[in-house]
Amino acid sequence: MEPKNMLRKNIKLDRQSMELISLLNNISGAIIKDCFIFQSPENNSEIIIFLVKKEDVGKAIGKAGEHVKDLMTKLQKKIDVIPWSENLEQFIQFILNTTKNSIQLQNIEIKESRNEKKTVIISVRPQDRGKAIGKEGSM
């Protein structure tokens, strides 16, 4: 399978995700592709991560971050907005280049097993290694 189409078939939305997507879409007018809740191992807090159409990231965040700030206040959770790409390599780059982390990929290798599961191996600059791994192994 070509890396460009790897992610398309794997999106499944539950009720909570649909409600969160609808909430950000109604506030911002942005096209939201998916969202998920991540439990931070650093402080056990929940982070809601929205995957947004690349062209709509600014719209989703809002002027001076107003939409994200509004959602953070309403939901009492940290919010991250990441551009979406069907190209797995580009999507991984988007994840690594958030405002919190700016990690340059040196190399990316995608391995597919017999059951179509994928393993991604990335190489980063030595000075980015700590940021890529994160505290206690969480980025």
Q: Let me know if residue 55 belongs to a domain.
A: yes
At 56-89, the pLDDT tens digits run 999 999 999 999 999 999 999 999 999 999 998 8
Q: Contact 36/47 with Cβ under 8 angstroms? A: no
Total length of the chain: 139
Is the pLDDT score of 117 beyond 90?
A: no
Closest CA to 34 of 76, 89, 95, 93: 95
pTM over 0.85: no
Domain count along the chain: 1
CATH number for the domain including 46?
A: 3.30.300.20
Residue 93 lies in a domain: yes
Number of separate helices (H) and strands (E) present in the chain: 5, 5
In a domain, 62, yes or no: yes
In a domain, 77, yes or no: yes
| Residue recorded with tokens 């950000």 | 24
Cα(96)–Cα(92) distance, integer angstroms: 6
3, 110 in Cβ contact below 8 A?
yes
Domain enclosing residue 99, as ranges: 3-133
- 139 CB-near residues (< 8 Å, 6+ apart): 95, 96, 101, 131, 132, 133
